[in-house]
Amino acid sequence: MTEKKQSISAIREIFAAASETELPALYLEYEEDSRAGVQNLIQKYQKQEEALKKERERTEQMKIYEHKYEDLGWICGIDEVGRGPLAGPVVAGAVILPRDSKILYLNDSKQLSAERREEIAAVVREVAIAWDIEYIQPQEIDEHGMTWALRTANLRAIAAIEEQLSAKDTSLDVVLLDGNAQHLDAREVNIVKGDGKCASIAAASIIAKVDRDALMCRYAEQFPHYGFESNKGYASAEHIEAIKQYGLSPVHRASFCRAWTQEALF
């Protein structure tokens, strides 16, 4: 009697439940099964494995700066989000990743989907040696300007990281800062477009953006006219029209909105 073959749906379940290390054995086991569904399934998982291999290589390459300075001690990446919006704070993130970090898909936060950012941010907060997020509020930006806001946010983030490390009887040794020199202190290393080149800066960018986006969604509930849930405070056409019609909310940066109104109506 001919042995009845497993159904393709059953084989699909076997592949779905397999660990990465178990997949090669499954390829060998089913390579002689000529059914198109089985062969397509094998090809699908092989392509996924190849993509994962490339992502691991890319992520490892993003640790080039951490490897470059690892002999100096603890390395903190810092980046800011929210420099350009009409509303909401500017936010600085700071992260020290473990030296053996295996976090995948780190990148400039703007290059990632919202779902991917949230997944990575949760992992970063869980595994980081230290992390911090600092806010500079719209009123402070209006009063002191963006240059002051960026420097202050970054300095506060550095101080918070130092405090966390001090509690572990160690200290911060290198600050990897996205963008041009800010001359925060002697440990500063500047990396232009660092959020796409450096793992710890990318991690800082991601946690900062996730936190700021969540805040803007909460503001959207308080001030529903402006569409903060979708524009996150940036100057969309709908946002500008809302400013013209309703004036400024308490979370707007008045100095950024002078082209449309001079007064806050709330």
Which tens digit of pLDDT belongs to each residue from 23-48? Answer: 888 988 898 888 899 999 999 988 98
Mean pLDDT in residue range 104-121: 94
Residue 2 is predicted with a pLDDT of 47
Q: Summarize the confidence of residues 173-199 as an average pLDDT.
A: 93
| Neighbour count for residue 40 (Cβ, 10 Å) | 10
pLDDT at 121: 97
Rounded mean pLDDT of the chain?
93
If you average pLDDT over residues 122-134, what whole number do you get? 97
Q: How far apart are CA 78 and CA 154, in angstroms?
A: 7
86, 256 contact by CB (below 8 A): yes
129: which DSSP letter?
S
pLDDT of residue 85: 98
What's residue 165's pLDDT? 97
Task: Please give the model's pTM, rounded to 2 decimal places.
Answer: 0.85
Query: What pLDDT, on the 0 to 100 scale, is given for residue 262?
Result: 54
Strand 130-136 with 172-178, pairing? unpaired
What is the predicted pLDDT for the residue at 1? 43
Q: What is the CA radius of gyration of the chain?
A: 24
Q: What percent of the chain has pLDDT over 90?
A: 75
User: Mean pLDDT throughout 117-140?
Assistant: 97
- 146 confidence band (pLDDT: 50, 70, 90): very high
Which positions ≥6 away from 61 have C-beta within 8 Å?
none
Residue 264 has pLDDT above 70, yes or no: no
**Token match 């803007």: residue?**
216
C-alpha 257/C-alpha 264 separation (Å) is 10
- Residue 3: what pLDDT? 57
Residue 98 CB coordination number (10 Å): 11
